[in-house]
Amino acid sequence: MQLELELNGRQRTFEAAKSDILLDVLRRNGYTGPKRGCDTGACGMCTVQIDGEPAMSCVTPVANVAGATVETIEGLGTQDDLHPIQRAFVDNSALQCGFCIPGMIMRSKALLEENPDPTETEVREALEDNLCRCTGYKKIVEAVLDAADRMDGESPAATDGGERIPSRTPSTCPREEGRSR
């Protein structure tokens, strides 16, 4: 079959078998950002966005995405111009081996599109299906909260691993009192 979809903002057509799984088609065609971890929908490392929703591409039949809008980590920033979420992960040292990070970032992006100002609890709940064997999650959660601030103010940020640039002056808003940094 010919699989037609909008991938990272471009109309694309791929050759695929009806029985193919989205992760296989993506990786076969050079989109290796989505990682293969468990291959059973249990680890989140293959997470992409389908029609704006986070989805495990390792358990998504290609037939389900014909005509859909799919976004992978390759659709975000480039090495020289990172997406704010990618910058926040770098600046907060929120990665070690990095294998889980594309899935984490795509899941975080979906969260922030739906909820631009999440609490720490909401971030943890949103990421609970994405496993990480290295970081202990604390820095990942901090990175997502930082990304929410950056996307709110679209402020510049260091990408050299240096000191984090505060994105805005401390707020006195009571909604933010419960946020733990």
Nearer to ligand FES among residue 36 and residue 179 (C-beta): 36
State the Cα–Cα distance between residues 58 and 163, nearest whole angstrom: 37
DSSP secondary structure string for all residues of 114-168: H-SS--HHHHHHHTTTS--SSS-SHHHHHHHHHHHHHHHHT-----SS-PPPP-S
Residue 90: CB minimum distance to ligand FES, A: 13
- The two structure tokens encoding residue 97: 């081996």
Rounded CA separation 147/163 (Å): 15
- When asked if residue 144 is in the footprint of ligand FES (CB under 6 A), the reply is no
Residues binding ligand FES: number (CB under 6 A):
23
Check binding of 22 to ligand FES (CB under 6 A). no
**In the complex with ligand FES, which residue's Cβ is closer, 4 or 29?**
29
* Residue 41 makes contact with ligand FES by CB under 6 A: yes
Residues of this chain that interact with ligand FES (CB under 6 A) are 36-39, 41-46, 56, 58, 95-101, 132-135
